[in-house]
Amino acid sequence: NAGVTQTPKFRVLKTGQSMTLLCAQDMNHEYMYWYRQDPGMGLRLIHYSVGEGTTAKGEVPDGYNVSRLKKQNFLLGLESAAPSQTSVYFCASSLTRQAFFGQGTRLTVV
Partner 1 sequence: EDQVTQSPEALRLQEGESSSLNCSYTVSGLRGLFWYRQDPGKGPEFLFTLYSAGEEKEKERLKATLTKKESFLHITAPKPEDSATYLCAVQAGNAGNNRKLIWGLGTSLAVNP
Q: Which stretches of the chain bind partner 1, using CB under 8 A?
A: 4, 31, 33, 40-45, 48, 50, 56, 58, 90, 92, 94, 97-104
Nearest CB to partner 1, comparing residues 31 and 109: 31
Nearest CB to partner 1, comparing residues 19 and 99: 99
Nearest distance from C-beta of residue 16 to partner 1, angstroms: 28
Q: Give the residue among 76, 77, 62 at the shortest CA–CA distance from 17.
A: 77
Q: Spell 75-95 as b/e; 16+ CB within 10 A means b.
A: bbebeebeeebbbebbbbbbe
Nearest distance from C-beta of residue 80 to partner 1, angstroms: 27
60-64 contacts: CB < 8 A, separation 24 or more?
A: 60/36, 64/34
Nearest distance from C-beta of residue 74 to partner 1, angstroms: 14
SS3 104: coil
Nearest CB to partner 1, comparing residues 17 and 72: 72
